[in-house]
Amino acid sequence: MNFLKKVPTQILPLAEAQLSLSNKSALHTSAVCCRVQSGRYRITVKRDRPLTYEMANPPHFIGHRKSWNSWNTSTLKDALRPSQTAIEDVFIRKFVTGTWHALVCSEIIIKRQHNTIRIAAIIRQAISPRKMYFLIGYTEELLSYWMQCPVTLEFQTVADKKDVVFKYI
């Protein structure tokens, strides 16, 4: 499986040199065994682990059965701030799941267009709409202070967490 091993040894230093020479974005490769484990869920004995559609499809189906959770232009040629964008996305995810504690039932989808950031997710109707509005105002404002972009939340609410469950394993 490890495709790096198949590469003839004399080419490797050359490739490395090229990588280090170009200060463009580089591809980071780690041991391929990650592919077997990451983004996958173990089947439980009682078969009662709830999975959303996103969780039910392992990472190699991205682009086939499921699509990306972050939409931005950082992978284009000559794109700026690719790493910062990724880190910011992680920050947004952590911030939203923490602020909307135990309410977010799906993945957090971050779409960036020009300088606006749109954050979509599915939220449980477990707190009163009044509190939700407070959190909406708070999240939008604080994130826009942090990212220095206008931030919009586009939530969908569901009555029960079970609504997002795709299957049990």
**Residue 73 binds another protein (CB under 8 A):** yes
Q: How many helices (H) and strands (E) does the chain have?
A: 6, 6
SS3 for 3?
helix
Among 33, 101, 113, 168, binds another protein (CB under 8 A): 113
* Phi, psi of 71, deg, nearest 5: -120, 110
Using alpha carbons, list the distances in angstroms from residue 162 to 105, 142, 146.
9, 30, 33
**Residue 122 binds another protein (CB under 8 A):** yes
**Residue 159 binds another protein (CB under 8 A):** yes
**Residue 62 binds another protein (CB under 8 A):** no
**What distance in Å separates the CA atoms of residue 121 and residue 154, rounded to the nearest whole number?**
7
**Residue 47 binds another protein (CB under 8 A):** no
Q: How many other CB atoms are found less than 10 A from the CB of residue 100?
A: 22
Judged by CB, which is closer to another protein: 18, or 156? 156
**Strand pairing category for 165-168 and 50-52:** antiparallel
**Of 9-17, 26-34, 36-44, 57-65, which part binds another protein (CB under 8 A)?**
57-65
Name the token pair of 168: 């049990």
**What distance in Å separates the CA atoms of residue 74 and residue 86, rounded to the nearest whole number?**
9
Judged by CB, which is closer to another protein: 35, or 157? 157
Q: Which residues pair with 154 in a beta bridge?
A: 120
Judged by CB, which is closer to another protein: 38, or 156? 156
Binding mask 5-44 for another protein (x = CB under 8 A): ----------------------------------------
**Interacting residues toward another protein by CB under 8 A:** 52-54, 57, 61, 64-69, 71-74, 76, 78-81, 85, 105-107, 109, 111-115, 118, 120-122, 125, 129-142, 144-149, 153-159, 163-164, 166
